Amino acid sequence: MSRQGSALSEQDPNVIRRGVSKLRPPSKLPQPGLKRMLLSDNQAENGAPVAKKTRLDMTKPAPAKRPTVPATRKLGPSATSRPGITKPVTRPTVARPGPATMRPRVGAHTKAAPAKPAAKARHAAAPVTSRPGARASKPTAPPPSKPAGGGKSKRQPWDLKGRLADMEAAMENRTMSNQNLEGRIGENNERIDFLESLNQQLQGTVQIKETLSNQAEETIRSLERKLRNAEDEHSIVERRLNQQKDDLEMTMRSLKRQIETVEGDLTASRQECSGLKSSIASMTAAQAGHIAQLDATKHQLEQSVESCRQKGSRISDLEAEVAALKATVEEKEGRIREDETMRRKLHNTIQELKGNIRVFCRVRPLLGSEQIGGDDIPHISFPDVDGKTLVLDKLSDVSLNESTMSTRNGRNGTSHYEFNFDQVFEPDSNQAEVFQEISQLVQSTLDGYNVCIFAYGQTGSGKTYTMEGPEEVNEENIGMISRAVQQVFTSARSLEANGWKYTFQASFLEIYNETIRDLLGAPHSKVKHEVRMVEAKSNEVEVTNINIVDVQSENEVNKLLSKASQNRAVAATNCNERSSRSHSVFRLKLTAINTLTGENCQGTLNLVDLAGSERLSSSGSTGDRLKETQNINKSLSNLGKVILALANKDSHIPYRNSKLTHLLQNSLGGNSKTLMFVNISPREESFQETLCSLRFATKVNECNIGTAQKKVK
């Protein structure tokens, strides 16, 4: 018994019938008995007597024991198009004709490919036709075994061999029937494959014909367009020739009239004709030459007109092309500006989500007296093209041991310190470039956020220049305070179209020797000012007895800044001839209400210029300058303690240790967007102070003060 036959014998007879009925019309031949009852597997294996059941029909053979046959592999859905049908692993390969010789196969005229070994085993068990078109002949089942008496009788319960023989006979009949069905299924599958291949080829032929037809139609349309163009050109040439013909005919008529006049004159004056013949001949020749020249001039004129028309058309095309290119360039430039604006917004958004204090590092350029052989700064480099990294290099004679930055000692004894910040400005950066990076942060003030920007660094590193600008201010070198105020008022005016109305209040103070002084008040006022908490939960603070001025424009604010600059405490030291001896704080508070939606918000812009840190040994301070230096260093030291406590997430933050930290409490640990400028000097003599400033800035950059919340009433 073949493996294919055993596989089909294990299928449900109903499933086999349904699979065959879907593949071919129902056969008129009698089907073999598929519903014979079989003994259960347990009873057949044990060989025990079967309990007495209802008497079976004596005309049907007794159920036979299911023989044990090798298991066959059933093909998945990809191998056959009919579920539930077990096909042989291999089947005859059907030769398919090409497109030119494709013919449907008919019955016995089509010769099947030689069967593979699995198919040979099946044929050996049950002979079937070798042609795909031929029907499989119905096998002749062996007659059922009869009892010795000559008539059919029920087997005795103890006659196990007889019952087993009956089962084997029934199993053989069923196997032969399955083989016949299997052969028919193979034939039908071959027919289906052939028809599917033929259908695909016909579809490809139809697509090719459609493509050729479309190409022919396109060719016809192209030829028709060319014909119309040729006809138009022919009409133009024909009209031109007709015009020339009319001109020539008119000329000929004119000449005829002249000849008639001349002949009349000749008739009237024959006596003069002989003397004038030579003159007439010369005049006739000249006239012919003039006519030829006139024709040539007309032809040249027509060519010139046509050339001018073509050049005018070409000029129009070029002008349109230039206009399109200009529009494209403007569009690309606008897109570049939009992309840059979006990049800055996304960068600020990321920084806000981080909740850290942003830190910008700015290196001032060398002054005229500091340049020795050029403006290069050998111990400071900027390896990052994105402007995020600054590297310091110093000989190993300087002891640096507590650096949290990456430090590498080179073979030549140099120390290498690398610092990373949100932005690093090189010495050639101007004020406009620096403000461009903080403009989005300033804009947040109009949206109802508290914003704080302060400058930190040693004396003479350019803090006051960054925040306020130089003494001789112009449009290019004005400081961050003036630029921020200008942007706030400009944006507020543009938002009026959306229904927003803003009111502004400005104040300017300084902390000198741990004493708060109002820079907008009387120069020698004795009024005391204290820092007081407004709300403990929000960390908001205010200064008592301070002058708060209502302002309506940036010009009014600039006047206040000029007055405050004159009242601020400055003095000359060995490190800086115009050293700021106090911490200055400019505050612009704004309140906004939308008349259309009823929404209102409140924001505050704090711009702080810290006094410069300096070493007593290098500053040469004595007397009042010594006291000022000590108070400055003490307040900056307390600022460092607050930053360290914030970085370590301590439960207690020592804000009240100094007036500066108490005033900046809301900016450092409250609801505020905070940015710090760390200004460093390019002088190699200031390397130690520069390194300390950069370390402090790194600590500040690591402080997480939380995400600022919009203040809406």
Angle (CA) 594-597-603 rounded to 5° is 40
Any idea which residue has 């007495």 for tokens? 52
**H or E element that contains 224:** helix 160-268
Burial class (CB in 10 A: 0-12, 13-18, 19+), 83: exposed
**Vertex 68: Cα angle to 64 and 73 (nearest 5):** 125
Q: Which of 697, 635, 701 is nearest to 662 (CA)?
A: 635
Rounded CA-CA distance 332/200 in Å is 50
What are φ and ψ of residue 28, in 5° steps?
Answer: -85, -10
Q: Give bridge partners of residue 452 from the DSSP assignment.
A: 606, 674
Report the Cα 403 to chain-centroid distance in Å. Answer: 40
CB 697 within 8 A of CB 381: no
Query: Does the annotation flag 459 for ligand binding?
Result: yes
**Residue 326 structure tokens:** 């200009």
For Cα atoms 363, 368, 370, give the angle at the middle one, nearest 5 degrees: 65
Please report which residue ranges of 399-460 form alpha helices under DSSP H: 431-443
Query: How far is 344 from 437, CA to CA, in rounded Å?
Result: 8
Integer CA distances (angstroms), 564 to 505, 554, 586, 601, 631, in order: 15, 15, 9, 28, 21
Amino acid code (one letter) for 13: P
Any idea of the CA torsion for 400, 401, 405, 407, to the nearest 10 degrees?
Answer: 70
CA dist 602 and 500 (Å) reads 12
For residues 69 and 9, give the distance between their C-alpha atoms in angstroms, rounded to a whole number: 10
Helix pair angle (270-354, 160-268), 10° resolution: 150
Q: Alpha carbon of 640 to those of 55, 353, 646, 668: distances in Å? A: 107, 24, 10, 12
Neighbours of 520 (CB within 10 A): 17
Expressed in angstroms, the distance from the first to the final Cα of the chain is 93
Alpha-carbon span 533 to 514, nearest angstrom:
18
Distance in angstroms (rounded) separating the CA atoms of residues 161 and 145: 12
Distances (CA, A) of 222 to 211, 219, 398, 471: 16, 5, 86, 77
> Do the Cβ atoms of 504 and 592 come closer than 8 Å?
no
User: For residue 483, what are the CA distances in angstroms to 258, 508, 562?
Assistant: 92, 16, 14
Residues across the chain: 713
- What are residue 607's DSSP bridge partners? 453, 586
Characterize the bridge pairing of strands 414-420 and 579-580. unpaired
Spell out the alpha helix ranges (H) of 593-686. Answer: 616-619, 624-647, 659-663, 665-669
Estimate the share of the chain in helix, then strand, then coil, as percent rounded to the nearest 5. 50, 15, 35
Q: Is 457 annotated as a binding residue?
A: yes
Q: 583-594 and 500-512 as β-strands: parallel, antiparallel, unpaired?
A: antiparallel
Q: Does the annotation list 458 as a binding residue?
A: yes
Instruction: Measure the CA–CA gap between 440 and 362, rounded to whole angstroms.
Output: 19
Residue ranges for the known binding site are 457-464
Residue ranges for the known binding site for ATP are 457-464
